[in-house]
Amino acid sequence: MIYAGIIGSTGYAGAEIARLLAGHKDVEIKWLVSKSFTGQAYEDIYRNFFEIIEKECTDIDLADMAKTVDIIFTATPQGYLQGKLTKEILDDCRIIDMSADYRIKDVSVYEKWYGMEHHSPELLSEAVYGLTEINRDKIKDTRLLANPGCFTTCSILTAYPLMKEHMIEKDSLVINALSGVSGAGRGAKVANLFCEVNESAKAYGVTTHRHTPEIEEQLGYAYGENVTLQFTPHLVPMHRGILATETAKLKGSYSYDEIKAVYDKYYSGEKFIRVLKKDMCPETRFVEGSNYVDVNFKTDERTGNIILMGALDNLEKGAASQAVQNFNVMFGFPEDEGLDMIPMVP
């Protein structure tokens, strides 16, 4: 039995981790940490856990928790973990972090885009970026897992095969991505009120969104050179989901079958990445509540561009279920343990 703690357990991602771990046959949740709800019963905060998780939220310190569990999930804002984590804590337990604190290897890039000092840059070298299907071999032995976010997971996996095979101009990629409102977190914000988001859609973080350097870094690793791209996120009035539409310039003339063969080369053995049938566009409703990513593509002979499309659930493969998938790899469990969820429709 693996003992787990969740810091930030009352946010949307933290609660989703708790839900998945509660159904994992090899895990016992020992600690549910929430400063805002310390002393309150978890089932009173999230009624879906009534008579399922009968624990109170606590405010145990990270270092103290590490001595009592095997794995800690930190579903916390940027800056929390990098301000507290030490090598001594990692000697006691393994960490899966949901923030961007250890995703970007260049500390100056992190500090520029996130506007804060990094207090444990010496740990960046051992952190592994948790895109399971790409970094599986590195993930299994790491003590510190940097779990990717929703926009990044969708954007990277959608373009990865073509970047890896140098089939598109590396600096031609333009990504437009839509997100459900839960991606903004559970905190009370006027901009996320029902009347503010319903029957509306908007771009935000235009040219400045903090996921941009993360996507560039990971696709740069795939290509073998630095990559510069345009990323524009949009907020749309739905609870869950990410839809990425990516446009790039092809480096040659390729048939559908040639491009499909490249996607199959990288993803045919991956349970949770589904390359759709020809002319079938990914939709968020067909991945909701699951760990699946649906991807597809279409070429435009008129412009010489290729349109890449991807969809996932931002709270699942874009956060919690990917974290549990990485946990399974780290502890030697079947990769789909606790994650064998068919998408919910409607």
Q: By C-alpha distance, which of 29, 31, 37 is closest to 11?
A: 37
* Cβ atoms of residues 298 and 306 within 8 Å: yes
| CA angle, residues 138, 292, 326, in degrees to nearest 5 | 25
Active site annotation includes 57: no
> What distance, in Å, lies between the first and last C-alpha atoms of the chain?
35
Q: Which segments of the chain have a pLDDT < 70?
A: none
Query: How do residues 37-84 score in pLDDT, each as one tens digit?
Result: 999 999 999 999 999 999 999 999 999 999 999 999 999 999 999 999
Q: How many CB atoms within 10 Å of residue 168?
A: 23
Reported pTM: 0.96
Q: By C-alpha distance, which of 78, 200, 90 is closest to 143?
A: 90
Structure tokens at 102: 């250890």
CB-based contacts of 25, cutoff 8 Å, min separation 6: 337, 338
pLDDT at 344: 94
* Cβ atoms of residues 205 and 233 within 8 Å: yes
pLDDT at 308: 98
Residue 36 CA to residue 9 CA, distance in Å, equals 10
Catalytic residue among 93, 150, 154, 195: 150
pLDDT at 192: 81
Architecture of the domain delimited by 151-312: 2-Layer Sandwich (3.30)
β-pairing verdict for 27-33 and 94-97: unpaired
Phi and psi at residue 323, to the nearest 5°:
-60, -40
Roughly what angle, to the nearest 10 degrees, separates helices 150-164 and 132-139? 90
pLDDT at 194: 87
Residue type, 236: V
Q: By C-alpha distance, which of 346, 323, 328 is closest to 75?
A: 323
* Cβ atoms of residues 219 and 160 within 8 Å: yes
**Tokens 């589904």 label which residue?**
274
CB-based contacts of 81, cutoff 8 Å, min separation 6: 62, 74, 95, 97, 99, 101, 102
Domain boundaries of the chain, sorted by first residue? 2-148+318-331, 151-312
> Which CATH code of 3.40.50.1220, 3.40.30.10, 3.40.50.720, 3.40.50.300 fits the domain covering 2-148+318-331?
3.40.50.720
pLDDT at 193: 87
